[in-house]
């Protein structure tokens, strides 16, 4: 009978209740299944043995055979350390333990051959090895040994409690002995043969105890493919089920409002990309399924017009629409923009934010419920329980990565039927990440800028060039242009940020004195009303320079602003730099982005600055960003648990991910219910995974 992999880890030989408790708390290992999926971080060559006289400073981890000849305890500032003299036929060295001395002293014997393994230190001409891996030579020779020794993830607590890497190997060996190394196959015969993949049992054995580097490579490929395949399968299935089960309101017609706006009030000709995306949205809204679409468009590509025209489709079919943005500034801007665009249409539009007055709120709540209000724009305030729609048909969420999953689902519950959902982002998401995180959404991309826009020129200048940069600013202001100067905001040191900003403001005020120059200042410590007042002065052209922290990052639209100066640009991430740059270049004039840095730049900072100077393409920038930072950081704090993969890495294993999605799609196209005999193992594995863990364990 095969061992049940859902057996609690406590029952495995060599574990027991205390160790099981530690493994649960420290590494999340509850069952045999969790243990078998604890993959090594790296491997060491254990075929080579050193002599003590062969050691040198550059030797990293070494393996030596010898005997302990004596022990002594040495007092130190805190407590004592245990030191053993270890010798082979060529010399002596010291083994040192700073904790667990009593247990070690009792466990180790003198003058018996041991094999030690670890990192060496050289101090006062003598080599020592702190906390070595140590085992009797006789045991070392008997063990199930592969030439490449696995190194498992660990924590300080585990090492302190004596759960060393050697013990993890021993526990893993016990698991293979107990299961007989036989594991249920999880991929169909078809996939195994097409991709020439090794079996599950062979892969698991060779990932833990590789017989050769070639077999390790094959084992890793197999396990990475499987992990990504089931994530993709679940995402694609979720989308299919969503479309078949979650009915949306079919918007039967493209009506009067849409057509009137399109024919008479469009401020400019739509780009090919905007037309394509509108067609995709229209097809979704006309079907009987709920739309669940992600709209990606680079900074300034015209997502707002697409959003408005989608809302007009909802209104034409007798429904209400809402647009939710992450900040008050952005909400106000959307509101002003939409009111301006719709001034000749008979539509009621209102805005609801944290600073809306009680009387306004009451009026909005009433108008929403009796259906007098067509479009509601706002921040998180839209999610409050008091906000009830008469018939919400379309919900648009801007910069969606700023909202958690729970917050979004609150919007769905405001209706008996879930509204259609359009999620927008100006932060281009690399394809790999979009496939893994938003694989259940349909994706639309606006990949061309409106005609007449000039590409922004980006340059890098060191602080020592500041006088020349200021000279350039004066010449731009003379041409009646406006300038942003942005300072970094690093949460941990709000004091320091504020000081940097104020110092910067003062030096700019000295170089650009009043009354000739007027300067606005905006930062996070200001009250919303004061921020709004300063923003409005800049928008109306009453001030030429806006000194700000990154509050202006998303969505501020001042067509007359032609220069963006980013101070300490090395302290910003790539996507943030790209977002800030997108605040200029919104008019027909040539715009500039100047990245100011100190001379001291890390390799990563250099790479970010070079990328910004080289390209304006948000998707290319996002790919570089993904390689530099990894998926967790890119998706922001709300989704920091993103893709807790056990063995695959979506950046390094992009090719395997493409394969996995291709095969998952192929399987579901031919057999959406996974009912064919060929797919029986896939269906069973999928059921087991859904039972014991879900894709959302991988994706927060």
DSSP string, 609-639: HHHHHH---HHHHHHHHHHHH-HHHHT-GGG
| Distance between CA atoms of residues 383 and 107, nearest Å | 62
Domain boundary (425, 443, 477) is at: 425
- Do 263 and 402 belong together in one domain? yes
Name residue, tokens 């018939």.
391
Nearest to 330 by CA among 484, 535, 555: 555
Is the distance from CB of 549 to CB of 498 less than 8 angstroms?
A: no
The CATH number linked to 487 is 3.40.50.300
Structure-block tokens of residue 604: 């990563």
Give me the CATH number covering residue 119.
2.40.50.140
Give the Cα-Cα-Cα angle 594, 629, 221 (nearest 5 degrees): 145
CB atoms within 10 A of CB 646: 12
Domain assignment present for residue 315? The answer is yes
Residues 74, 223, single domain; the answer is no
- Cβ 262 vs Cβ 275: under 8 Å: no
Question: 276 and 445 in contact (C-beta within 8 Å)?
Answer: no
| Predicted local distance difference test score (pLDDT) of residue 10 | 92
Residue 473 lies in a domain: yes
Residue 313: the pLDDT is 95
| Selection from 60, 64, 58, 12 nearest residue 33 by Cα | 12
Characterize the bridge pairing of strands 320-324 and 375-378.
parallel
Nearest to 445 by CA among 293, 300, 296, 291: 296
Instruction: Work out the angle at residue 444's Cα, subtended by the Cα atoms of residues 438 and 446, and round it to the nearest 5 degrees.
Output: 130
Strands 91-97 and 80-88, by their bridges, are antiparallel
- Residues 413 and 462 both lie in one domain: no
CA-nearest of 594, 574, 589, 584 to 552 is 584
Residue 264: DSSP 8-state: I
643 assigned to some structural domain:
no
Residue 585 lies in a domain: yes
Whether residues 206 and 135 share a domain: the answer is no
Paired tokens of 90: 């060529």
Same domain, 388 and 530: no
Residue 661 CB contacts under 8 Å (≥ 6 apart), including other chains: 228, 232, 236, 435, 439
314 shares its domain with 343? yes
The parent domain of residue 499 ranges over 457-615
Are 483 and 584 within one domain? yes
pLDDT digits (tens, 9 = 90+) for 54-77: 888 776 788 999 999 999 998 888
- Give CA angle at 90 (85, 91), nearest 5°: 30
* pTM of this prediction exceeds 0.85: no
Question: For residue range 193-223, what is the model confidence (pLDDT) as tens digits?
Answer: 999 999 999 999 999 999 888 999 999 999 9
Give Cα separations from 222 to 17, 348, 660 (angstroms): 33, 57, 11
| Predicted pLDDT at 380 | 86
Structural domain count, the chain = 4
Angle at the Cα of 510 (from 506 to 513), degrees rounded to 5? 115
Look at the chain and count its residues: 700
State how far the Cα of 144 lies from the Cα of 626, in Å rounded to an integer: 40
Q: Is residue 414 part of a domain?
A: yes
Residues 6+ apart with CB under 8 A from 453: 300, 585, 588
Boundary (domain end) residue, out of 425, 443, 468: 425
Q: Is 444 helix (H, G, I), strand (E, B) or coil?
A: strand
Q: What pLDDT does residue 199 have?
A: 95
* β-strands 61-75, 80-88 pairing: antiparallel
Given 425, 445, 466, the domain boundary residue is: 425
The secondary structure of 463-506 as a DSSP string is GGGHHHHHHHHHHHHHTT-EEEEE----GGGHHHHHHHHHHHHH
Q: Are residues 307 and 216 in the same domain?
A: no
Question: Helix (H) and strand (E) counts for the chain?
Answer: 26, 22
CA atoms in the 13 A half-sphere facing the CB of 173: 15
Paired tokens of 96: 């040192």
Alpha carbon distance 230, 233 (integer Å): 5
Round to whole Å and give the CA distance between 139 and 65. Answer: 13
Q: Is residue 462 domain-shared with residue 361, that is, in the same domain?
A: no
CA pair distance 500, 209, nearest whole angstrom: 54
Residue 69 placed within a domain: yes
DSSP H or E segment with residue 564: strand 561-566
**Both 472 and 602 in a single domain?**
yes
Helix (H) / strand (E) element for 667: namely helix 654-670
Is residue 175 in some structural domain? Answer: no
Q: What is the pLDDT of residue 642?
A: 47
515 in a structural domain: yes
Vertex 292 angle, CA 665 and 654, to 5°? 40
- Round to whole Å and give the CA distance between 419 and 115: 67
**Is 94:79 a contact under the CB 8 Å cutoff?**
no
User: In terms of domains, do 270 and 331 share one?
Assistant: yes
In this structure, the number of other CB atoms found within 10 A of the CB of residue 258 comes to 24
- Domain identity same for 580 and 669: no
The residues of the chain scoring below 70 in pLDDT are 1-3, 59, 143-146, 400-409, 412, 416, 432, 435-437, 489-499, 550-556, 630-644, 692-700
């Amino acid at each position: 009978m095969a061992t049940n992999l859902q057996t609690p880890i406590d029952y495995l030989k060599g574990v027991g209740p205390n160790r099981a408790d530690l493994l649960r708390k420290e590494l999340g290992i509850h069952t045999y299944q969790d243990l078998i999926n604890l993959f090594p971080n790296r491997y060491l060559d254990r075929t080579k043995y050193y002599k003590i006289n062969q050691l040198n400073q550059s030797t990293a981890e070494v393996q030596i055979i010898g005997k302990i000849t004596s022990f002594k305890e040495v007092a130190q500032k805190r407590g004592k350390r245990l030191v053993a003299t270890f010798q082979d036929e060529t010399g002596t060295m010291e083994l040192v333990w700073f904790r667990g001395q009593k247990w070690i002293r009792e466990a180790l014997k003198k003058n018996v051959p041991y094999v030690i393994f670890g990192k060496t230190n050289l101090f006062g001409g003598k080599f020592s090895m702190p906390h070595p891996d140590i085992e009797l030579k006789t045991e070392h020779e008997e063990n199930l040994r592969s030439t490449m020794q696995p190194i498992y993830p660990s924590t300080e607590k585990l090492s302190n409690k004596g759960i060393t890497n050697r013990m993890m190997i021993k526990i893993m060996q016990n698991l293979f002995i107990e299961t007989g190394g036989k594991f249920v196959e999880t991929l169909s015969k078809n996939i195994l043969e097409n991709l020439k993949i090794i079996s599950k049992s062979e892969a698991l054995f060779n990932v833990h105890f590789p017989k050769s580097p070639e077999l390790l490579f094959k084992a890793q490929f197999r396990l990475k493919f499987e992990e990504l395949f089931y994530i993709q399968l679940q995402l694609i299935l979720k989308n299919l089920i969503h479309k078949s089960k979650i009915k949306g309101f079919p918007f039967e017609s493209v009506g009067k409002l849409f057509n009137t706006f399109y024919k008479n009030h469009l401020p400019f000709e739509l780009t090919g990309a905007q037309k394509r995306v509108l067609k995709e949205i229209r097809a979704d809204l006309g079907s009987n399924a709920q739309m669940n679409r992600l709209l990606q468009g680079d900074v300034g590509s015209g997502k707002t017009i697409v959003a408005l025209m989608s809302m007009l489709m909802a209104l034409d079919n007798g429904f209400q629409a809402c647009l939710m943005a992450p900040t008050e500034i952005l909400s106000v801007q959307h509101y002003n923009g939409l009111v301006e665009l719709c001034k000749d249409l008979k539509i009621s539009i209102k805005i609801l934010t944290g600073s809306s007055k009680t009387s306004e709120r009451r009026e909005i709540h009433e108008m929403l419920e009796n259906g007098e209000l067509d479009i509601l724009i706002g921040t998180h305030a839209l999610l409050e329980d008091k906000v009830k729609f008469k018939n919400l048909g379309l919900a648009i969420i801007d910069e969606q990565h700023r909202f958690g999953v729970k917050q979004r689902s609150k919007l769905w519950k405001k209706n008996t039927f879930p509204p259609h959902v359009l999620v927008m982002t100006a932060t281009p998401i690399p394809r790999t990440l979009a496939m893994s995180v938003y694989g259940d959404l349909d994706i639309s991309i606006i990949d061309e800028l409106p005609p007449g826009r000039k590409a922004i020129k980006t340059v890098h200048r060191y602080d020592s060039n500041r006088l020349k940069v200021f000279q350039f600013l004066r010449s731009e202001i003379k041409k009646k242009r406006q300038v942003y100067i942005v300072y970094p905001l690093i949460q941990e040191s709000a004091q320091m940020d504020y000081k940097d900003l104020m110092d910067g403001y003062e030096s700019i005020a000295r170089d650009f004195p009043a009354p000739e120059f007027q300067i606005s200042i905006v930062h996070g410590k200001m009250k919303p009303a004061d921020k709004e007042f300063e923003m409005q002065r800049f928008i109306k052209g009453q001030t030429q320079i806006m000194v700000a922290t990154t509050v202006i990052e998303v969505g501020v639209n001042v067509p007359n602003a032609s220069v963006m100066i980013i101070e300490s640009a090395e302290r910003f991430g790539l996507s943030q730099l790209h977002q800030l740059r997108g605040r200029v270049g919104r008019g027909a004039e040539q715009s500039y982005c100047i990245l100011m840095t100190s001379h001291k730049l890390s390799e990563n900072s250099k790479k970010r600055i070079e990328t910004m100077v080289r390209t304006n393409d948000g998707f290319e920038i996002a790919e570089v960003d993904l390689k530099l930072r990894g998926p967790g950081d890119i998706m922001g704090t709300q989704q920091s648990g993103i893709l807790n993969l056990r063995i695959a890495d979506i950046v390094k294993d992009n090719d395997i991910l493409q394969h996995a999605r291709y095969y998952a799609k192929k399987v579901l196209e031919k057999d959406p219910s996974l009912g064919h005999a060929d797919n029986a193992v896939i269906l069973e594995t999928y059921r087991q995974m859904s039972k014991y863990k879900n894709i959302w364990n991988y994706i927060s």
